[in-house]
Amino acid sequence: MGDVTLTDVTKVYAGEESVVAVEDIDLEVQDGEFVVMVGPSGCGKSTTLRMIAGLEEVTGGTIEIGGEIVNDTQPQKRNIAMVFQNYALYPHMTVRENMAFGLRLSSELSEDEITETVEETATLLEIEPLLDQYPKQLSGGQQQRVALGRAIVRDPQVFLMDEPLSNLDAKLRTQMRTELQRLQSELGVTTIYVTHDQTEAMTMGDRIVVLNDGELQQVAPPEECYDRPNNRFVAGFIGSPSMNFFEITLADTESGSTVSGEGFEVSLGEIDAPPGEYTLGVRPEDFTIVESDGITATVDVVEPMGSDNFIYLQTETGTAFTARVDSAFRPNEGDVVRVGFAADDVHLFDADGDRIEHRRERTPPAT
Ligand code: ADP
């Protein structure tokens, strides 16, 4: 079984100034699950992955793979396979030899069995015609497939992938994203995938693990991180363009809840949260253009995206924010518009940045 459990895992890099790279991480990855670990550069993603792989010692806590504590187990005995950003193929070996090499070292398979495994995997990855070529004869995408193939032939309990697609151009990256998902579900091998790219996190994994400053922020399916972010960090990190934030005061009035911020006051039907100071979060697509009420703002830039327009706006007091509206609405730079939002669509965060639960049920689209 390829489940992976991290309990209170901490990593401190000792040195003149010690660095706490990862702090008290608890994580349970189920057998066969595809988990994407995401966060900004330096948040501890690679360190966590390398500790699971056994390439980095754990300072505190335990790591279990398949129910066994592996803290003191050599990397080659952990039954994992890693795929990195740089493919690290052996240049003097053909594709076939590159794929067979690790298998020869790590298994007892006969040469015939190795050939069979390599050819089956090459078929799966559609690189069969390349088997007798050398890495320098291949495109970046093809080399990445070979690197994947080399991991797959070893039939590990767990795949650990560190930014495997970031050397590919945008189009190929999108294509490989889909393909990796297909492969992972076909093979059913537990996969932990590290990226700094929130789009990869949103589109690929069964669950996302969001890290910041070495600490876990949220572990949840992508939709949940998007719809119910645990805190302001996750809210701002997941989603593109990012969620907009306004410092506001929430007050109860006769007509319902009123949200007031710098230069605006908006009445909302009802927000089920006590009056007070909050950060209000509004996703760009949750703004609508309104006739009255709403935030008055000046249009800085209009970015047509085809089906919608991204409108970059500024309030009277200079707060910048983004609205995503229908492509039919196309104001000019300098126009003054009003944008509104619905009580059910806004997010509230307290002074510590933690999410305040309030009534927020999305209306299902009309059928
Ligand atoms: P990420 O993969 O999210 O970019 P890393 O895991 O590489 O982050 O790094 C987390 C933190 O640990 C960073 O502050 C980084 O500078 C530090 N770090 C990483 N590797 C080492 C090392 N070998 N020695 C000292 N500090 C390190």
| Residue 9 maps to a domain | yes
| Residue 96 maps to a domain | yes
> What is the enclosing helix (H) or strand (E) of 12?
strand 4-13
Please give the residue range of the domain that contains residue 287.
241-356
Judge if 164 and 257 occupy the same domain. no
Q: 24 CA distance to ligand 1 centroid (A)?
A: 16
| Residue 160 maps to a domain | yes
Judge if 208 and 309 occupy the same domain. no
Of 12-26, 52-66, 310-324, 349-363, the poorest mean pLDDT is in 349-363
Q: 185 CA distance to ligand 1 centroid (A)?
A: 31
- Per-residue pLDDT, 140: 87
Provide the pLDDT confidence category of residue 168 given band limits of 50, 70 and 90. confident
> Residue with the nearest Cα to atom 2 of ligand 1?
46
Last residue of a domain, one of 177, 203, 236: 236
Provide the pLDDT confidence category of residue 301 given band limits of 50, 70 and 90. very high
191 lines ligand 1 (CB under 6 A): no
Tell me the per-residue pLDDT of 170-187, one tens digit each, with 9 for 90 and over: 888 888 899 899 999 999
- Per-residue pLDDT, 278: 96
> Which has the closest alpha carbon to 236: 88, 18, 39, 96?
39
45 lines ligand 1 (CB under 6 A): yes
257 lines ligand 1 (CB under 6 A): no
198 lines ligand 1 (CB under 6 A): no
75 lines ligand 1 (CB under 6 A): no
- Per-residue pLDDT, 282: 96
Judge if 216 and 287 occupy the same domain. no
To test the pocket of ligand 1, the residue of 9, 10, 19, 38 to mutate (highest count of ligand atoms within 8 Å of its CB) is 19
Last residue of a domain, one of 236, 262, 288: 236
Query: Which residues, including other chains, have CB under 8 Å from residue 17's CB and lie 6 or more apart?
Result: none
Residue 58's DSSP bridge partners are: none
Q: 21 CA distance to ligand 1 centroid (A)?
A: 6
- Per-residue pLDDT, 363: 53
| Residue 361 maps to a domain | no
The closest-lying atom of ligand 1 relative to the alpha carbon of residue 214 is 10
Judge if 201 and 336 occupy the same domain. no
Q: With a cut of 70, say whether residue 335 has pLDDT above it.
A: yes
> Could you give the 3-state DSSP secondary structure of residue 15?
coil
User: Which residue type, as a one-letter code, is found at position 252?
Assistant: D
| Residue 172 maps to a domain | yes
pTM: 0.91
Q: What is the mean pLDDT of residues 198-227?
A: 96
| Residue 345 maps to a domain | yes
| Residue 300 maps to a domain | yes
Judge if 259 and 316 occupy the same domain. yes
Beta strands of 107-189 (E only): which ranges? Answer: 158-162
Q: With a cut of 90, say whether residue 263 has pLDDT above it.
A: no
User: Which residue type, as a one-letter code, is found at position 81?
Assistant: A
Burial 11-26 (b: 16+ CB within 10 A, else e): beeeeeeeeebbbebe
Q: 57 CA distance to ligand 1 centroid (A)?
A: 13
Return the CATH number at 278: 2.40.50.140
What total of structural domains would you count in the chain?
2
133 alpha-carbon distance from chain centroid: 35
Q: What is the mean pLDDT of residues 83-109?
A: 89
Judge if 118 and 250 occupy the same domain. no
Judge if 152 and 171 occupy the same domain. yes
> Residue with the nearest Cα to atom 18 of ligand 1?
21
Q: 48 CA distance to ligand 1 centroid (A)?
A: 10
Q: 95 CA distance to ligand 1 centroid (A)?
A: 32
Q: With a cut of 80, say whether residue 87 has pLDDT above it.
A: no
To test the pocket of ligand 1, the residue of 12, 13, 233 to mutate (highest count of ligand atoms within 8 Å of its CB) is 13
Q: What is the mean pLDDT of residues 269-288?
A: 93
- Per-residue pLDDT, 162: 94
Average pLDDT, the chain: 92
Q: In what order do the strands lie in the sheet with 207-212?
A: 80-83, 158-162, 190-195, 34-38, 207-212, 215-220
Tell me the per-residue pLDDT of 144-165, one tens digit each, with 9 for 90 and over: 899 999 999 989 999 999 998 8
Q: 47 CA distance to ligand 1 centroid (A)?
A: 6
Given CA atoms 132, 138, 140, 142 in this order, what sign does their dihedral have?
Answer: negative
Provide the pLDDT confidence category of residue 167 given band limits of 50, 70 and 90. confident
The closest-lying atom of ligand 1 relative to the alpha carbon of residue 47 is 6
Q: With a cut of 70, say whether residue 364 has pLDDT above it.
A: no
Judge if 144 and 171 occupy the same domain. yes
Residue 342: Cβ-neighbour burial (10 angstroms; 0-12, 13-18, 19+)? middle
Return the CATH number at 49: 3.40.50.300
> Residue with the nearest Cα to atom 26 of ligand 1?
13
> Residue with the nearest Cα to atom 5 of ligand 1?
44
Judge if 257 and 208 occupy the same domain. no
Of 264-268, 325-329, 337-341, the poorest mean pLDDT is in 264-268
Judge if 182 and 311 occupy the same domain. no
Triad 221, 225, 230: Cα angle to 5°: 125
Q: What is the mean pLDDT of residues 330-343?
A: 93
Q: 29 CA distance to ligand 1 centroid (A)?
A: 23
Judge if 245 and 230 occupy the same domain. no
317 lines ligand 1 (CB under 6 A): no
Higher pLDDT, 279 or 85: 279
Q: 341 CA distance to ligand 1 centroid (A)?
A: 40
Q: What is the mean pLDDT of residues 239-256?
A: 92
Q: What is the mean pLDDT of residues 262-289?
A: 91
Q: What is the DSSP string of 276-342?
A: EEEEEEE-GGG-EE-SSSSEEEEEEEEEE-SSEEEEEEEETT--EEEEEEETT--PPTT-EEEEE--
Percent of the chain with pLDDT over 70: 98
Last residue of a domain, one of 173, 203, 236: 236
Of 130-139, 208-217, 254-263, the poorest mean pLDDT is in 254-263
- Per-residue pLDDT, 160: 96
Q: 15 CA distance to ligand 1 centroid (A)?
A: 13
Q: What is the DSSP string of 32-79?
A: T-EEEEE-STTSSHHHHHHHHHTSS--SEEEEEETTEE-TTS-GGGS-
Q: 22 CA distance to ligand 1 centroid (A)?
A: 9
| Residue 363 maps to a domain | no
Higher pLDDT, 140 or 279: 279
41 lines ligand 1 (CB under 6 A): yes
Judge if 228 and 247 occupy the same domain. no
